[in-house]
Chain A
Amino acid sequence: MDTLLNFIVAAVLAATPLLFGAIGEILTEKSGNLNLGVEGMMFMGGVAGLAGTYYYEKAVVEPNAVVSIIIGVVCAFLCAMFGAFIYSFLTITLRANQNVTGLALTTFGTGFGNFFGEIMGNAAGGYVSVGTVIKAAFDEGIPVLKDIPVIGKLFFDYNFMVYLALALTIILAYFLTKTKTGLNLRAVGENPATADAVGINVTLYKYLATCIGGGISGLGGLYIVMNSANGTGGVWVHNSISGYGWLAVAIVIFATWSPLKAVICSLIIGSLSVIPYYYQIPFIHSAIYEIFPYIATVAVLIMMIFRKKKSNLPPASLGLAYFREER
């Protein structure tokens, strides 16, 4: 029972950064922009959040947990958003190829994160690390509630970012299906020419969705850097975010562009990544688990051929640029 409980908790903790990355990318892709720079933006968000909290801690005598959380989240969001803005400017205004721009953003963002992480480390004389107050702020569960036996541990002992990710997911799901702006956004992603013809500002929608989506993805990077589930919280580890961004892109497909399904898919992939630490599964080598998410994603891509339900398909204009003059 204890093993099961620990396993579930570990799976949720492993799933959260993926969920941030995935719902950010869902918002982006709903506008028709396929931003393959998720990993780059996560790196940018991660390093900026760490820098924000680290310098805040250095600037004040007694760092406050709530203030450090706000600073970390805001810095991560803005920096990742800046990455997404570069992407938007290049693909929407300057009409560059989306795939290529996204990959260039990944190169830039990965370098940006490692570079500044190491610069901060050099300045701190070795490596950069935040103090116990801030570490705890990014790790601790809800006071009082978390002490309820079993239920407390299962539902209330996660750090605030887990709840933030869930809240953002629900807001996004509501936004995309129930609000006029959300429906307009989906129209832009499905058929920008038609959306343009009925008076929707295609450029504005694409910019906003991509930038805000990028910011949300960046929070996933903040989570990986600040949370100590993987052993190192509030420390810059070289290339620590490698691979998460691509997993997030995979989850978007796996979840067929639905935020709520992304929760389940992140959980599945999160649990696959931690299962070897809790259970021995015969016949399957632990290294093989790591491939499962990608195989599942390929399977979903293939199954889409047979399942022509409109809601499960990618936005029709995904990856295609829209130029009014070339309509």
Chain B
Amino acid sequence: MISENTKKEPLVRIAKRAELSPKKAALVRFSSIIVALLIGGLLILALGYNPISVYGGIIEGSLLTPTALKATAKIAVPLLGAALAIAPAFRMKFWNCGAEGQITVGAIASTYFALYHVGDLPAPVFFVVTFIVSAIFGGLWGLIPAFFKARWGTNETLFTLMLNYIAIGFVKYLRIGPWMDKGQMFPKVPMFDRAARLPDVFGVHIGWIIVLLLVVFTYIYMTRTKHGYEIAVVGESVSTARYSGMNVAKIIMRTMFISGAVAGIVGWMLALGTNYTLSDTTANGYGFTAIVVAWLAKLNPFVMVLISAFLAVLQKGSNSIQTNFGIPASASEVLTGLILLCMLGSEFFINYRFVFRKKSVGGDD
């Protein structure tokens, strides 16, 4: 029997690795980005451009002038905010794919105030009120799937996905229906009054300060508080959480309310700080890209800062290579996709190792 088993052991098998040192893990992730950029470079080369000058163009068009830098920051800020929103839910292994919708609902709530109550309140109060209302609405939108998951175990991935399109569809209705700008031929929501626009700090709307504060808060919340501990336990094992007397349903609903609320705040800054209006593309895919950002950062808020900044550079830079080289701006999505896929693949080499068949019989672990 034993000899037959050894004979059948495959040449290579895969085993879980003991924790890889953070330095080595960072090296693996970094190399995966290099691999992705090399593949992208080959693609650029195949199309008849010089990859080095195109990549140079991306950096120049996103970082090297103050205007470009500000535009890059405006992309990075909501992306980072959405990734922070997703983090607690994902730690709980609640696959919240609904940040896009939660952002949209937050934006709808602040748009209502920006359109109808802008003169009623002094500016600071207006921004505080809209901030809170957006957070509450985003949170409630996140609470719906959490309620059904906690009570009856519905599939949250699919539920949150569908809620995205309900929120976005509702914006389309508002745009063409009750909130339509009467003075325009094309159905759209009017631009907000100046008083309803978020003030700039160093040329970028104040949202960036809020998001950076949220980075610290999220880190503390997830690693240093009782809530954070409960989230981690539920994520590891619902049964363990239950046996130790935790109210799992309450934790799931509370965490998703917080997750949705943070996404709602992102909607607040997108509507009042970036777009100054509401459209069906207000969330602009940030909610989806953020899922990958959060995941690749291993839900570490500080790593999310780096990854979202990097993706923002790619996106802004690709717009400028369209003007300078005539390469379609969609190149940013191709490159982003390549990088995400390569980084996802690289996780394998961090978590697992190959075990080659040993020559000698036995001696297996």
Say which residue of B163, B291, B334 sits within 8 Å of A103 (CB atoms).
B291
Contacts of A112 in B (CB 8 A): 333-334, 337
Query: How many whole Å from B298's CB to the nearest CB in chain A?
Result: 11
Q: In this assembly, does A183 line the interface, its C-beta being within 8 Å of a C-beta of chain B?
A: no
Closest to A299 in B: B162
Distance of A105 from chain B, by nearest CB (Å): 7
Instruction: Compute how far the CA of A318 lies from the CA of B292 in the bound complex, rounded to whole angstroms.
Output: 20
Contact present for B338 and A108 (CB under 8 Å) = yes
Closest to B311 in A: A107
User: Bound state CA distance, A319 and B285, in angstroms?
Assistant: 22
CB distance from B160 to the nearest CB of A (A): 10
Query: B161, B172, B291, B331: which contacts A100 (Cβ < 8 A)?
Result: B291
A266 contacts the other chain (Cβ, under 8 Å)? no
Interface string of A299-327 (1 = CB under 8 A from B): 00110110000000010001100000110
Contacts of B127 in A (CB 8 A): none
A-B contact count (CB 8 A): 157
> Contact between B337 and A291 (Cβ–Cβ < 8 Å)?
no
Tell me the nearest residue of chain A to B348, going by C-beta. Answer: A94
Known A-B contacts A104-B337, A111-B333; A96 and B347 likewise in contact (beta carbons under 8 Å): yes
Q: Which of A25-43 contact B (CB under 8 A)?
A: 34, 36, 40
CB neighbours (8 Å) of B337 from chain A are 40, 104-105, 107-112
Of chain A, the residue at the smallest CB distance from B47 is: A119
Q: Does A97 contact B (CB under 8 A)?
A: yes
Check B348 against A99 for contact (C-beta < 8 Å).
Answer: no
List B contacts of A119 (CB < 8 A).
Answer: 47, 328
Which of A62-70, A154-162, A245-253 lies on the face that meets chain B?
A245-253
Are the C-beta atoms of B330 and A115 separated by less than 8 Å? yes
Q: Are B347 and A285 in contact (CB under 8 A)?
A: no
Q: Which residues of A have CB within 8 Å of B326?
A: 122
B310 sits at the interface (CB 8 A): no
Tell yes or no: A114 within 8 A of B by CB: yes
Q: Which of B72-80, B147-155, B193-201, B210-218 contacts the other chain?
A: B147-155
B residues less than 8 Å from A294 (CB atoms): 162-163, 165-166, 169
Chain A residues near B177: list those with CB within 8 A.
285, 287
Q: Chain A interface mostly helix, strand, loop or mixed? A: helix
**Chain A CB within 8 A of B332 CB:** yes
User: A101 touches which one: B162, B170, B328, B341 (CB < 8 A)?
Assistant: B341
B61: shortest Cβ distance to chain A, in Å? 17
Per-residue contact bits, chain B 93-124, to A (CB 8 Å; 1 contact, 0 not): 00101000000000000000000000000000
Cβ of B246 < 8 Å from any Cβ of A?
A: no
**Contact yes or no, A90 B173, CB < 8 A:** no
- Tell whether B158 is near chain A: CB-to-CB under 8 Å: yes
Whole-angstrom distance between the alpha carbons of A273 and B90 in the complex?
34
Query: Would A94 and B347 be within 8 Å (CB), given that A103-B291, A288-B173 are in contact?
Result: yes
Q: How many Å from the CB of B351 to the closest CB on chain A? A: 7
Q: Is B14 part of the binding interface, using a Cβ–Cβ cutoff of 8 Å?
A: yes
Do A287 and B341 touch across chains, with their CB atoms under 8 A apart? no
In the complex, A95 has a CB within 8 A of chain B: yes
Whether B340 sits at the interface, judged by CB under 8 Å, is yes
A147 contacts B by Cβ under 8 Å: no
Q: A298-B162, A298-B166 are in contact. Are A95 and B292 (CB under 8 A)?
A: no
Cβ of A106 under 8 Å from chain B: yes
| Complex Cα–Cα for A89 and B346 (A) | 12
B345: Cβ under 8 A from any A Cβ? yes
Interface residues of A in 75-129 (CB under 8 A from B): 86, 89-90, 93-97, 99-101, 103-112, 114-115, 118-119, 122
Chain A 258-299 near chain B by CB (<8 Å), digits 1 or 0: 000000000000000000000000000111101100110110
Q: In chain A, residues 9-66, which have Cβ atoms closer than 8 Å to a Cβ of chain B? A: 34, 36, 40
B292 touches A107 (CB 8 A): yes
Shortest beta-carbon distance from A264 to chain B in Å: 19
Q: Are B344 and A104 interface neighbours, CB within 8 A?
A: yes
List B178-202 residues whose CB lies under 8 Å from chain A. none
Nearest A-chain residue to B13, judged by Cβ:
A325
The residue on B at minimum CB distance from A314 is B155
Contact flag A107-B340 (CB < 8 Å), given A114-B328, A287-B176, A291-B170 = yes
The answer to whether A100 and B295 have CB atoms under 8 Å apart is yes
The reply to whether the CB of B159 lies closer than 8 angstroms to some CB of chain A is yes
Residues of chain A within 8 A of B175, CB atoms compared: 287
Residue pair B333, A108 in contact (C-beta under 8 Å): yes
Bound-complex Cα distance A101 to B345 (A): 9
Please determine whether A90 and B157 come into contact, CB atoms closer than 8 angstroms. Answer: no
Residues of B within 8 A of A (CB): 13-16, 47, 95, 97, 148, 152-155, 157-159, 161-166, 169-170, 172-173, 175-177, 285, 288-289, 291-292, 295, 326, 328, 330-338, 340-341, 344-345, 347-348, 351-352
Q: Interface of A with B (CB < 8 Å)?
A: 34, 36, 40, 86, 89-90, 93-97, 99-101, 103-112, 114-115, 118-119, 122, 243, 246, 249-250, 253, 285-288, 290-291, 294-295, 297-298, 301-302, 304-305, 314, 318-319, 325-326
Q: A110-B337, A319-B155 are in contact. List 5 more A-B contacts (CB 8 A).
A: A34-B157, A103-B291, A106-B288, A295-B162, A305-B152
